[in-house]
Amino acid sequence: MSVTEIKSGPIPFKIRLLSTLRSILDFIGTIFFKLYYGTDGKRVPPITDDILRQPAVEVARKIRNKQITSVEVVETCIRRIKDINPVVNCFVENRFELALQEANKADEIIRTGSKTAEQLLQEKPFLGVPFTTKDCIAVKGLHQTAGVVSRKDFIAEEDAKVISLLRESGAIIIGLTNVPELCMWWETYNNIHGRTSNPYNNTRIVGGSSGGEGCIQAAAGSCFGIGSDIGGSIRMPSYFNGIFGHKPSRKTVSNHGQYPRGATELQDDFLCIGPMTKHAIDLKPILKIISGENFKTLKLDEPVDIGKIKIFYQFNNNAPMVGKVDPEIITAMEKVIEYFELKYKIMGTEKKIKLLERSSPIWFGTMKSPIPFGSYIIPDYSYCKIYREIVKSLLGLSGNTLIGLFTALLDSKSVDLNSEKYKNFRRLRDNLEEIFKEMLGDNGIFIYPAHPTPAPYHNQPMLRPMNFMYTAIINSLGFPATTVPLGLSSDGLPIGIQVIANHNNDRLCLAVAEELEKAFGGWIEP
């Protein structure tokens, strides 16, 4: 039986008026930012060591087969980080000495020959391969600040579950990357570590909250990365930095060891941890490890016949307060649809899912919790303290970011999650999820913009605050989604799409990502 959309009522005139004013302000702001920043921005230095260009699985294979040592790879990553960080400021804390010690141990295992290369592939598939993660996922002995000044001295006492699983696979954590304050904004900036810049043009943002991780992967500072995502925090940075990023199906990867955790069960469902990589081929083996026992639920080893998938797509969500998708991105999407039609005779079906217009109220409404945002970033939180900190921030004297304080102000009221208002948001969410489930079935994918524009200038997201809804709504629905790069815009900035599948059909997203990488080239060196 087909699902019928719940009628959510017309969008109020006030909201449409605000949307129009936002568009006008954004237009004026874009002119200002172009004049302010100019047309030239710095890029990171070119890559000089070929090992940094290779997939993590290939690096692991070469280490196992004694073609290169783990120590050499770790040392190469350390040199690269030192080269790029003065330009982009993506890397915030290292464990280089410990990483080199662990690399020596990995090389010793291989030198002794106690296990064959095939045994190592099965037991420790990433033996000796260096990786990074964001400063909100616990790594024992390192800071876990989440960009919050009041946590600047907090040291993690144990590894997050995903980190321990990767270490069991032989991977070596070499350090942490930058995040926005409390990981709740889509530009990476905080008052502990400062701002992170885009490796393709340092006048542009890297996204958030896994912005530092997206940047270091694009700039080839580590072999792979781990991010987290509650509203697009893996997919937007992956998109802005021209790499692959996968948001797994809900409840398939443990959130243990992440700060902040979801304050409600619903928030914890939205929140997930996933891989960020230069190459699509790395996504599945990393996901197999970090999903633990759940990899069986995901059926990651089940083959995917690309020729038998169904393709659906939508160019815009038409939501008020959200920008229209850039024509260059629409052209890239059209090329993807055409590719599947020409190569596999798959005719894509364009959709116009009207309920996507309500993405913002659905996400915000179902993200609400009894714990106000301000309580996380301001000790002994109160209205007066927020206003005082806003004034101090304008004068450059606050430990909090201005966007963090405004968010705290907007999210300062306690809410009744059992009220009819919030029950209605959940009904809308459930209805939209059913529409997608019926559409996608067991073999369908939905091609959708990851963001309406290429990477904006620094601070420009304040004029486009709702543009993250293209990714956020997918968190609300719990579906897996993979960001796929599709080349560069006319301004030399990465553009791409996200590929979405039904619950636990992550393998479809990953297979399509690998297919599109072969067809369109994937990651391009900045």
pLDDT digits 0-9 by tens, 254-292: 999 999 988 888 889 989 999 999 999 999 999 999 999
Instruction: Decide: residue 98, CB within 10 A, 0-12 exposed, 13-18 middle, 19+ buried.
Output: middle
Mean pLDDT of all residues in the chain? 95
**pLDDT tens digit sequence for 30-41:** 999 999 998 789
* Beta-ladder partners of 190: 194
Active site includes 437? no
Find the catalytic residue in 8, 70, 169, 209: 209
Active site residue 14: no
What's the confidence (pLDDT) of residue 143?
Answer: 98
For residue range 305-348, list pLDDT tens digits in order: 999 999 999 999 999 999 999 999 999 999 999 999 999 999 99
State yes or no: is 209 an active-site residue: yes
User: What per-residue confidence (pLDDT) applies to 1?
Assistant: 44
Q: Does the predicted model carry a pTM greater than 0.95?
A: yes
Reported confidence tier of residue 72, pLDDT bands at 50, 70, 90: very high
Given a cut of 80, whether residue 3 has pLDDT beyond it is: no
The string of pLDDT tens digits covering residues 84-114 is: 999 999 999 999 999 999 999 999 999 999 9
Q: What is the CATH number of the domain that holds 95?
A: 3.90.1300.10
| Phi-psi sector, 176: left (phi>0), alpha (psi -120 to 50), beta | beta
Shortest CA distance to 238 belongs to which of 460, 26, 499, 37? 499
What is the bridge-based pairing of β-strands 349-350 and 310-313? Answer: parallel
Query: How do 272-277 and 194-195 pair as beta strands?
Result: unpaired
Kindly give the residue spans of alpha helices, DSSP state H, lying in 4-153: 13-37, 56-64, 70-88, 96-112, 117-123
| Domain around 127 | 55-370+415-520
Residue 196 lies in a domain: yes
Tokens of 262: 């979801």
In the block, residue with structure tokens 């029950």:
423
Q: In this structure, is residue 152 part of a structural domain?
A: yes
Torsion of CA 290, 294, 297, 303, to 10 degrees: 30
Cα–Cα distance measured from residue 216 to residue 147, given in angstroms and rounded to the nearest whole number: 17
The reply to whether 23 falls in a domain is no
Q: Which member of 62, 124, 134, 284 is catalytic? A: 134
Least confident of 137-146, 374-383, 387-396: 374-383
Q: What percent of the chain has pLDDT over 70?
A: 98
| Cβ contacts of 11-14, under 8 Å, gap ≥ 24 | 11/320, 11/357
At 319 the pLDDT is 92
**Domain total of the chain:** 1
The answer to the question of residue 60 being in a domain is: yes
Please indicate, yes or no, if residue 38 is contained in any of the structural domains.
Answer: no
Residue 98 domain flag: yes
Structural contact between residues 315 and 327, judged by C-beta atoms closer than 8 angstroms? no
Of all residues in the chain, the percent with pLDDT exceeding 90 is 85
What are the distances in angstroms from CA 404 to CA 182, 190, 245, 396? 8, 9, 25, 14
**Helix (H, G, I), strand (E, B), or coil: what is residue 395?**
coil
Q: 389 lies in a domain? A: no
Rounded to an integer, what distance in angstroms lies between the CA atom of residue 100 and that of residue 102? 5
- Report if residue 405 sits inside a domain: no
